[in-house]
């Protein structure tokens, strides 16, 4: 078979085009730092990459959920801490008012301060985090109290409940982030707001003595014990949230490592391949230039 000049030219151009294409692919890997830049480069690596990236996205979403968990628990703990301070002041006022040396006018002044503390505790019970109320159970869009207590009416929101507010923090794992605020704050007989209302009524009644007020000290101690239980519950949930956050951090590291091993290019290897390919390409150009002599005499041979 006769090998013509056009056959030599076409073969050289085809091989040079393939060499350019291979160099272009290697340079693209070097610039992007990725083994593949489109699914057609390696479908298996592409499919694994999708799975690893999906897993990483889920872990990162759970980490964002953990941020919401910490915000909820920290805000609740700070609110209960302020309620604790208010209850200490209530106890001090009760001790002061239980002595019979005080006049009805003196007790009236104490009652005024006690009423303000009651209203402040109602405000604490209606604490919001963003647009969500912390102590209304799962009815987070409405406050626990619809207003300040009046005679014979605590103004408790009928839609408030004691249900758990749960946030998903891992596959099939949820954390409840609230406490039973309705029972502590809004119970009509043993709730702290109702009990403060009783104390205020006793303080304003001239017929009541210091002994009547002394009886409320044990009630306030009971409220303080209930408050400590709520704070202990929040503390336990915070500890669990921290352990879950550590687990998520470990999962993120693992997922990132798997994705990197699957997708990231070995830069040292890529540079070596590029150098080798450039040398081969130069050699091909040099040999091609010798084989194909662009003169009319050579074409006529």
The CATH number that applies at residue 107 is 1.20.1330.10
Q: Is 200 helix (H, G, I), strand (E, B) or coil?
A: helix
Least confident of 27-41, 60-74, 79-93, 134-148: 27-41
Residues 163, 239, single domain; the answer is yes
Under the banding of pLDDT at 50, 70 and 90, the label for residue 78 is very high
Distance CA 186, CA 301 (A): 108
Which residue bears the tokens 């336990």?
236
Query: 262, 55 in Cβ contact below 8 A?
Result: no
Percent of the chain with pLDDT over 90: 58
The per-residue pLDDT for 290 is 67
For residue 176, tell me if it sits in a domain.
yes
Residues 197, 289, single domain; the answer is no
The per-residue pLDDT for 2 is 61
Give 282 or 155, the one with higher predicted confidence: 155
Residues 276, 135, single domain; the answer is no
Residues 163, 193, single domain; the answer is yes
For residue 100, tell me if it sits in a domain.
yes
For residue 29, tell me if it sits in a domain.
no
Under the banding of pLDDT at 50, 70 and 90, the label for residue 1 is low
The per-residue pLDDT for 264 is 73
Residues 274, 172, single domain; the answer is no
Distance CA 287, CA 259 (A): 43
The per-residue pLDDT for 291 is 64
For residue 156, tell me if it sits in a domain.
yes
Residues 104, 68, single domain; the answer is yes
Residues 214, 287, single domain; the answer is no
For residue 38, tell me if it sits in a domain.
no
The per-residue pLDDT for 117 is 97
pTM of the model as a whole: 0.81
The per-residue pLDDT for 56 is 92
In the structure encoding, which two tokens stand for residue 166, read together? 């749960």
Residues 182, 291, single domain; the answer is no
Query: 182, 142 in Cβ contact below 8 A?
Result: no
Residues 76, 173, single domain; the answer is yes
As a whole number, the mean pLDDT across the chain is 87
The number of residues making up the chain comes to: 301
Phi, psi of 40 (to 5 degrees): -70, -20
For residue 6, tell me if it sits in a domain.
no
Distance CA 32, CA 179 (A): 50
Strand 132-133 with 166-170, pairing: unpaired
Percent of the chain with pLDDT over 70: 87
Residues facing residue 150 across a β-bridge: 153
> Residue 286 is part of which domain span?
266-301
Q: By 3-state DSSP, what share of the chain in percent is helix, strand and coil, each rounded to 5?
A: 70, 5, 25
Distance CA 237, CA 219 (A): 27
Which residue bears the tokens 């030219």?
9
Residues 226, 275, single domain; the answer is no
Residues 280, 197, single domain; the answer is no
The per-residue pLDDT for 298 is 54
How crowded is the C-beta side of 12, counted as CA atoms within 13 Å?
18
The per-residue pLDDT for 176 is 95
For residue 168, tell me if it sits in a domain.
yes
Least confident of 3-7, 10-14, 97-101: 3-7
Residues 276, 168, single domain; the answer is no
166: enclosing H helix or E strand: strand 166-170
For residue 216, tell me if it sits in a domain.
yes
Domain count, the chain: 2
């Amino acid at each position: 078979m006769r090998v013509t000049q056009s056959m030599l030219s076409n073969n050289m151009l085809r091989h040079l085009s393939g060499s350019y294409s291979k160099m272009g692919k290697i340079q693209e890997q070097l610039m992007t730092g990725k083994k593949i830049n489109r699914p057609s480069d390696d479908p298996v690596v592409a499919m694994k990459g999708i799975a690893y990236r999906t897993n990483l996205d889920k872990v990162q979403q759970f980490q964002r959920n953990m941020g919401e968990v910490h915000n909820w628990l920290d805000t609740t703990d700070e609110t209960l801490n302020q309620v604790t301070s208010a209850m200490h002041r209530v106890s001090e006022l009760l001790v002061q008012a239980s002595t019979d040396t005080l006049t009805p006018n003196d007790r009236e002044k104490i009652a005024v301060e006690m009423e303000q503390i009651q209203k402040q505790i109602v405000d604490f019970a209606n604490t919001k985090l963003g647009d969500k109320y912390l102590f209304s159970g799962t009815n987070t869009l409405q406050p626990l109290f619809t207003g300040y207590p009046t005679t014979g009416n605590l103004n408790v929101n009928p839609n408030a409940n004691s249900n758990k507010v749960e946030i998903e923090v891992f596959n099939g794992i949820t954390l409840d982030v609230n406490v039973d605020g309705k029972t502590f704050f809004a119970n009509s007989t043993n709730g702290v707001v109702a009990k403060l209302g009783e104390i205020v009524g006793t303080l304003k009644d001239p017929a009541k003595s210091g002994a009547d007020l002394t009886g409320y000290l044990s009630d306030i101690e009971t409220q303080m014990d209930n408050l400590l239980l709520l704070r202990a519950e929040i503390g336990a949930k915070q500890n669990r949230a921290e352990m879950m956050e550590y687990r998520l951090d470990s999962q993120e590291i693992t997922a990132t490592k798997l994705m990197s091993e699957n997708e990231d290019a070995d830069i040292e290897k890529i540079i070596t391949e590029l150098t080798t390919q450039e040398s081969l390409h130069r050699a091909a150009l040099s040999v091609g230039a010798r084989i194909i002599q662009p003169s009319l005499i050579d074409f006529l041979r």
